[in-house]
Chain A
Amino acid sequence: MSSEFVECQRGAEATLSRGTYLGKRVLLKRRPPKAYRHPHLDSALTKERTRAEARALIRARAAGVRVPTLYLVDLQRSSIYMEDVDNGITVKDYINKIQPKTEEESKLDSLMNEIGICISKLHSDGVIHGDLTTSNILVTPTSGNFGKLCFIDFGLSHTASTIEDKAVDLYVMERAMESTHSEAQRLLMRLLAGYLSHSGKAAEDVFKKLDQVRARGRKRTMVG
């Protein structure tokens, strides 16, 4: 069965393949064993990470943020079989493809606003994505509109409710956008406005912290 899967991406942590499973088009995320680690430690770590990712996906969904549907989480094979979002493209590709001065460009503001709201929903429920970038958010564009948002890759996520964690999460997004999009500043403003509109007072504290994080970088301590 797994032989019918075609690898489409490979990262440091996992490989992604496309295929059909239980009659659905799915994406298989598998964390291959790392030979440089002791086998016991490796399997414990891999299991824990697969489990953490599955947990975060369920929590994000419960918070009202769209994530891929899960079809099987297999800790023994350290694999997650999930929905391959129909017509999904990354927000990064979507922004880059947009022609200036078109109707789609004017939709960008509302897209960023929407992303801000979703991040805020995650944060209110204590889900820290950990790797927010425009490549880890999908849109399903239909004529002139960006369609539905779908957050992916919760591989680095954790649950926390401290302001520090939320600010760092936003900071990661900010840095990622600055390095990929020419209009990052304007887009970020919209994103933060969306975040503020949903989080309200809680957002103000996060923004205050965000200023501090900007000044010192992602790590609070100088260790590691």
Chain B
Amino acid sequence: MYFRYLRRELAGRRKQSIIIAAGMALAVALVIIVNSVAAGMSNAQASVLESVYGVGTDITVSQTPAAPGEGDSGPGGQRFDFDAGAGTTTDGTTTVNQSRLEAARGTSTLDAAALTTVQGVDNVSAATGTLSLSNTTFNGELPDFSQIQANPGAGGGTPPQGGPDGSGGSAFDVDSFTVLGIDPSVTEVGPLSSLEVTDGRMLDTGDVGTDVVVLDSGYATTESIAVGDTLAVAGTDFQVVGIVTSTTTGSDSASNTYIPLDVAQSLSGLTDQVSSVYVQAASATTISQVQADIEKALPDTTVNTQADLASSVSGSLASASSLLSTLGFWLAVLVLGAAFLISALFTISNVTRRTREFGTLKAIGWSNGRIVKQVAGESTVQAAFGAVAGVVIALIGVVVINIIQPTLSATASTAATPSDGPMMGGPGGPMMGGAADAASNAVDLALQAPVSVVVILIAVGLALLGGIFAGTVGGWRAAKLRPAEALRSFA
């Protein structure tokens, strides 16, 4: 009787039932889509941050830069020193070749003991140190300046002859690429967590202390270097054992080349120094505690979490994310509220229209509870239909979004972090001079909206709750009527 009566009532009031269900469907769909897109934005934001700090990295530790003291020359540009006997001189032309491996521009280093300190902090599940370096090679031909010394007063000084053009000129190349010293034994956090081998192999624990190098695929292509070839780093030939690609776009933790950390420290003269320490916390809830403990243990460092860095993401992603988190959220709340209101008003209006019907049922012995149950049931079923339709609409919407894949641009600028943070250029962009100061990652991301079963269940639950609420309010109004009042024919 209950379900038959319910079915007949809903079928008999089809237009009204459709309006209520449509309102609920709209609300449910909006809640799911907004949440889905928000999750997509969040993932995109996380992706941008991962591209800067590596997959699985919760916290980064870097040296806080000190203000230049009086008399300090500052970082300056690349500098090469050649003594009088440098190079080899043939036919009045001196050929020089010098390679330097030093800390990347704009970076500072901290004592490697900081890594041990970080590893000792509670709830640190993994940590690794990296050393960001830049290898610069000067290769060129100069005129033999010893000619001047040999003829010091001859006719007021005769310009040196020779050189590449034969008349005292010079020609030289400056070649530069980035080198990242990494600990091959730590793969779950830091640069290794976002690298994928495309040829050869990754550095492993057996490579510690050996002159082996892994190249970024873009750099290897540009330089036409393959696995098995050699690459000179700081004048030392390294065997290329693998080609890798970063799993994230424009990674700041990526580099042109990767070598074992101890070798990098040794060749650069930065023994027991690292540029950054990448930290993974035991869980998301412990990140704040780990951050605080590291800051306490290493007061001269800058400790950043992903949350700190989220504000450094700018571009349309940030705008859309901000828009969604404000307008989108309130729009969903507004529509849900409107759907609740429409549902309640229609139910109450329906109850008012059916006053005599309920009065009759009370007159023939129906209890108040039975009438509330009937009205609430009708309203809940309407809401359920709306919820199902809403889920279908939402899934279609999400599929459409995922097919269209709107492109969002994001710039993860390290401006929000000290300039000694991880500021390495991407694989294709070796940094020279002041270029390093503008380190940032401009990334185009295709928005992918994931669907969460939990969100679907919550949205459906809210719709059903709205239906029960509206039905209970309406049913309560119907049950409250005294039968004598409801039966106007008696009055």
Tell me, yes or no, whether A binds B. no
Question: Using a CB–CB distance below 8 Å, which chain A residues touch chain B?
Answer: none
